[in-house]
Amino acid sequence: MNQPFPISELGASAVDVDIRNIGLSYGTNHVLKGITLHIRPGEFFAFLGPSGCGKTTLLRLIAGFNEADGGEVLIGGQDVSHLPPWKRDVGMVFQSYALWPHMTVRRNVSFGLEERKVPRAEVDRRVAAALELVGLAHLADRRPSQLSGGQQQRVAVARTIAIEPKVLLLDEPLSNLDAKMRVQVRRELRDLQQRLGLTTIFVTHDQEEANTICDRIAVMNDGVVQQVGTPMELYEKPANLFVANFLGTANILPGRVVREGGQRFFDIDGGVRVPIPAHVVVPEGAKLVFRPQHASLTRGGAGDVLLPGTIVHSEFLGSTLRYVVRIGAAEVSIDTPFHSGETLHQTGSAVEVSLSLRSVLWLAI
Ligand SMILES: Nc1ncnc2c1ncn2[C@@H]1O[C@H](COP(=O)(O)OP(=O)(O)OP(=O)(O)O)[C@@H](O)[C@H]1O
């Protein structure tokens, strides 16, 4: 997929997608609860969230396959909320690929163009260009059953970009591929999207997939957008516990803020007390949250926050030592870099978990 891009000047006309206060219910099941998002022109954007949170429903709604109870969808500034799918200029790649089994690869790609009454010479040009772009020109005469999963996925992409959509919608396009193929195809998708400069929305429940290929991510849960940001923003500054947990591993210590003698403390459930410096803001109901790699283990060591604990489990993972440590009533994971000659702390030994206050997140639900 490294050929120069020969299809028309899609990138030059990249459009934005504006989703305004979208609501959708199936009976009493409120699947989308007032979703508002702005996807920038040429952006690779992900809807990320657990199964059932409403991502596919939202994607299908942008495509025109679902109708909202309220709200608007604008593509390139045009309100398409009441237009049928074929009038929206969007292309959707389905999880199942939905290829015609009895047609060759070439016919699968040309079919949609013929249906649209595109002139023959233009069909041939676009099909050749799309197949070239996904690196499948040499397999144009095969049928889908004679292709690997990754190749079938590329046919589905070729068929979609051949219609020259303004927006590309991808519904978990990698989920039917094995782990190795997923990594390869996701790179190809990113590369293709960059060369096309095509506004692309990608649905996934896999944080690694979203992190590696998308510019920005909307993290969704239960029909609500929890946070929008770049992968790094979401990881470093999660807005709440759900986002912290969904993107990477988060250690969560429940407890409560208490005041004694003019000083604030965070009493971790189970009896460990941490002083809270005056300048630190702790929201109502917050828990003490930190990433495994932001802590270290010391015996009488230094750190803004020192939490006494007991080693529950330890593992040597090559470059990293992973510990599970009991602190109060909770268990946390700590990853420390392995230095040559170092030995593991033994299970049952008393340690101190050392944290810098800068790496502590005070997050409520
Ligand atoms: N046609 C439908 N009729 C009734 N309920 C539906 C319909 N389509 C989806 N739902 C419900 O809407 C909710 C959201 O479904 P949706 O497919 O959007 O979730 P998702 O986040 O894409 O999940 P997954 O990752 O499992 O595909 C679910 O509770 C689902 O059961």
Q: How confident is the model at residue 41 (pLDDT cuts 50, 70, 90)?
A: very high
Tokens matching residue 60? 């299908």
pLDDT(10) > 80: no
One domain, residues 23 and 144: yes
Amino acid at 360: V
Cα torsion 174, 176, 181, 187 to 10°: value is -10
Determine the average pLDDT of the residues in 288-308: 84
One domain, residues 141 and 58: yes
Nearest atom (ligand 1) to Cα of 66: 1
- How much is the pTM? 0.88
Predicted confidence at residue 301, as pLDDT, reads 62
Q: What is the distance in angstroms between the CA of the first residue and the CA of the last residue of the chain?
A: 43
Distance from Cα 238 to the centre of ligand 1, integer Å? 25
Substitution site in 47, 48, 55, 207 for ligand 1 pocket (most atoms within 8 Å of beta carbon):
55
Determine the average pLDDT of the residues in 52-60: 96
pLDDT(7) > 60: no
Question: What is the number of structural domains in the chain?
Answer: 2
**Bridging pattern class, strands 78-79 and 70-75:** antiparallel
pLDDT(52) > 60: yes
Spell out the residues 6+ positions from residue 78 whose beta carbon is closer than 8 angstroms to its own. Answer: none
* Residue 134 counted as domain residue: yes
Predicted confidence at residue 30, as pLDDT, reads 95
One domain, residues 126 and 189: yes
One domain, residues 114 and 169: yes
* Residue 6 counted as domain residue: no
* Residue 35 counted as domain residue: yes
Predicted confidence at residue 8, as pLDDT, reads 54
One domain, residues 227 and 257: no
One domain, residues 287 and 339: yes
Predicted confidence at residue 3, as pLDDT, reads 44
Determine the average pLDDT of the residues in 148-173: 91
Sign of dihedral through CA atoms 86, 228, 192, 173? negative
Predicted confidence at residue 181, as pLDDT, reads 82
Predicted confidence at residue 1, as pLDDT, reads 44
One domain, residues 86 and 108: yes
- Burial of 125 per CB tally in 10 Å (0-12, 13-18, 19+): middle
One domain, residues 110 and 210: yes
> Rg for the chain (alpha carbons), in Å?
25
Substitution site in 25, 26, 169 for ligand 1 pocket (most atoms within 8 Å of beta carbon):
26
One domain, residues 113 and 226: yes
- 190, 211, 239 - which closes a domain: 239
251-277 residues labelled b (16+ CB within 10 A) or e (exposed): bebebeeeeeeeeebbebeeebebebe
**Tens digit of pLDDT for each residue in 219-270?**
999 999 999 999 999 999 999 999 999 998 999 999 999 999 989 999 998 8
**Tens digit of pLDDT for each residue in 67-94?**
999 999 999 999 999 999 989 989 999 8
Q: d(Cα 142, Cα 321) in Å, to the nearest integer?
A: 50
**What SS3 state is found at 320?**
strand
The owner of tokens 């970009």 is: 161
pLDDT(172) > 60: yes
CB atoms within 10 A of CB 337: 10
CATH of the domain at 155: 3.40.50.300
Averaged confidence pLDDT in the chain? 90
Distance from Cα 294 to the centre of ligand 1, integer Å? 37
pLDDT(11) > 70: no
Q: Residue 323 to residues 245, 276, 305, 349: CA-CA distances in angstroms?
A: 18, 25, 18, 12
Nearest atom (ligand 1) to Cα of 27: 4
Distance from Cα 145 to the centre of ligand 1, integer Å? 29
Nearest atom (ligand 1) to Cα of 60: 18
Q: How confident is the model at residue 2 (pLDDT cuts 50, 70, 90)?
A: very low
**Tens digit of pLDDT for each residue in 175-190?**
878 888 888 888 888 9
One domain, residues 149 and 282: no
Predicted confidence at residue 253, as pLDDT, reads 93
- 239, 267, 296 - which closes a domain: 239
* Residue 136 counted as domain residue: yes
**Tens digit of pLDDT for each residue in 115-151?**
889 999 999 999 999 998 888 999 999 999 999 888 9
pLDDT(9) > 60: no
Which residue lies with its CA nearest to atom 28 of ligand 1?
A: 52
CATH of the domain at 307: 2.40.50.140
One domain, residues 263 and 164: no
Report the range of poorest mean pLDDT among 164-168, 191-195, 316-320. 191-195
Give the residues surrounding ligand 1 with Cβ less than 6 Å away: 26, 29, 31, 49, 51-57, 205
User: Does ipTM come in above 0.90?
Assistant: yes
For the chain, give the percent of residues with pLDDT over 70. 95
One domain, residues 296 and 191: no
* Residue 246 counted as domain residue: no
Distance from Cα 222 to the centre of ligand 1, integer Å? 10
Substitution site in 30, 47, 56 for ligand 1 pocket (most atoms within 8 Å of beta carbon):
56
Distance from Cα 31 to the centre of ligand 1, integer Å? 7
- 239, 274, 296 - which closes a domain: 239
Distance from Cα 54 to the centre of ligand 1, integer Å? 6
Q: d(Cα 338, Cα 321) in Å, to the nearest integer?
A: 6
Distance from Cα 68 to the centre of ligand 1, integer Å? 14
Nearest Cα to Cα of residue 19 among 32, 38, 34, 33: 38
* Residue 244 counted as domain residue: no
Distance from Cα 187 to the centre of ligand 1, integer Å? 28
* Residue 267 counted as domain residue: yes
Residue ranges making up the domain that contains 77: 11-239
Q: How confident is the model at residue 271 (pLDDT cuts 50, 70, 90)?
A: confident
Amino acid at 4: P
Q: How confident is the model at residue 5 (pLDDT cuts 50, 70, 90)?
A: very low
* Residue 44 counted as domain residue: yes
